[in-house]
Amino acid sequence: MKALGKHILVEFYGCDKDVLNNSKLLDKEMQYAAEISGATIINSTFHTFSPYGVSGVVVIAESHLTIHTWPEYGYAAVDLFTCGDTVDPWIAFEHLKKILKATHTSTIEMKRGQLNDIKGELRHKPENAII
């Protein structure tokens, strides 16, 4: 059965605490991760919490990448949700693993939108989508 999208849930442990607390850097690197995966970025929104922690979302035409960090635990929860056949979220995973300097990771890949009646090439949105 075909699925509309794939969704990787990532736990990054043992990360660099300064990186986890650097909203500007995370925004840049999450957008770069989207780009090298083949995604089309629509926008991004990142927030820094006081005294620490960052939440960020990169909305892509093919769904989204998100990150939530807990510098106090050296931990980040990352979601890489992509649709269509042209984006590879594992490229984003490898990039973020390196940037966060994670010592260990846990990943689960889920299929989203498993439907019987999907026809033709898989895209998140029709080819001529205006974004």
Q: Which is nearer to a copy of itself, 5 or 95 (CB)?
A: 5
CA angle (2, 8, 46) in 5-degree steps = 125
State the nearest-atom distance from the C-beta of 41 to a copy of itself, in Å: 12
**Rounded to 5°, angle at Cα 124 from 120 and 130:** 110
Give me the active site residues, please.
63, 68, 83
Residue 78, amino acid? V
Nearer to a copy of itself, 95 or 124 (CB): 124
Residues that bind a copy of itself (CB under 8 A): 4-5, 7, 9, 11, 42-43, 45, 47, 49-53, 55, 57, 59, 61, 63-64, 66, 68, 70, 73, 75, 77, 79, 81, 83, 108, 110, 112-115, 117-118, 124-126, 128-131
Residue given tokens 């820094």 in the structure block: 48
Q: Name the H helices within 37-118.
A: 89-100
